[in-house]
Amino acid sequence: MNCHTSKKYLYLFREGELSKTEKAALTRHLKDCNTCRMFAEKTQGFEYYLNSLQSFEPQLTNPEKLTEEIMQNIPDNGKKRVIKSTRLFGTLIVRVAASILIIIQVAMYVYQKSFINHSVLSLNNNNQTTRSQNHDRQNLNAECVEQTKTILLDIFGDAGITLRHSTFAFTKNLSPGEIESYAVQICACSSEIEKLRDKEQKKLFLTNLINKEMTLKF
């Protein structure tokens, strides 16, 4: 007998499934083989331990109560009933509470998301409006500058005053915004200028206006 068979026989021995011949063979092998003998001794300790586990006898704390619960839960006329268990009830409460919490969370999330979207939208709209207004204003100012140039050219016959004005603006480091503000003021007076019949009167009016503005400004 080899050691592998010996271990197998030891297992079968515990199960009471060894024949007399096999038992004798095992005994002979254990006498001769030190390793298997030590294994068998060790196994015996384990067998003893396994046997000791059989003394484990969990007892019902209140059998009458359990009997009553079972009798309450069995159906009357063969109809199946759901077990009434405190644990199941507890689970139900937890499930309901969890569902409510989830609904609240989802509602809050949706509300927050819509609020954020709304805010972002408003902000975008505001920005767009501001940008649009700025754009309009820039366009208007540019138009005013162009209109002023036309008025000046028309009245003075050349771009001299325009050039002077521009040179002056340039030398005085006038910003485009400041030039625009002059132009806007000239444009504002365009209807008054048009009313004047005489070109010389127009010249005088504009010269006064420009000088006055320049005096005020610088």
Partner 1 sequence: MRKDTGKNIQPDTALIGSCIKKDRTAFKQLVTMYQQYAYNLAFKILLEEEDAKDVVQETFIRIWNHIDNYRKEILFTTWMYRIVTNLCYDKLKSFKRKNHVSLHDAAGQGINLTNETEHNADSAENHEMIKQIRRLSRGLTTKQRMVFILRDIQGHSVKEVSEVLNMSEGAVKTNLYLARMFIREEFYKSENTGRIVR
Quote the least distance from Cβ 76 to partner 1, whole Å.
8
Return the number of the residue (90 or 176) whose C-beta is nearest partner 1: 90
Return the number of the residue (86 or 173) whose C-beta is nearest partner 1: 86
Quote the least distance from Cβ 122 to partner 1, whole Å.
46
Cα separation of 19 and 16, whole Å? 9
Question: At which residue do the structure tokens 């140039």 appear?
Answer: 149
Cα separation of 208 and 205, whole Å? 5
**What residues contact 169, with CB distance under 8 A and at least 6 apart?**
178, 179, 182
Cα separation of 94 and 114, whole Å? 30
Q: How far apart are the first and last CA of the chain?
A: 122
Quote the least distance from Cβ 67 to partner 1, whole Å.
5
80 touches partner 1 (CB under 8 A):
yes
One of 34, 87, 171, 175 touching partner 1 (CB under 8 A): 87
- Hey, which residues between 15 and 74 contact partner 1 (CB under 8 A)? 15, 42-43, 46, 48-61, 63, 66-67, 69-71, 73-74
Instruction: Provide the 3-class DSSP secondary structure of residue 136.
Output: helix
Contacts to partner 1 by CB under 8 A: 11, 15, 42-43, 46, 48-61, 63, 66-67, 69-71, 73-75, 77-78, 80-81, 83, 85-88
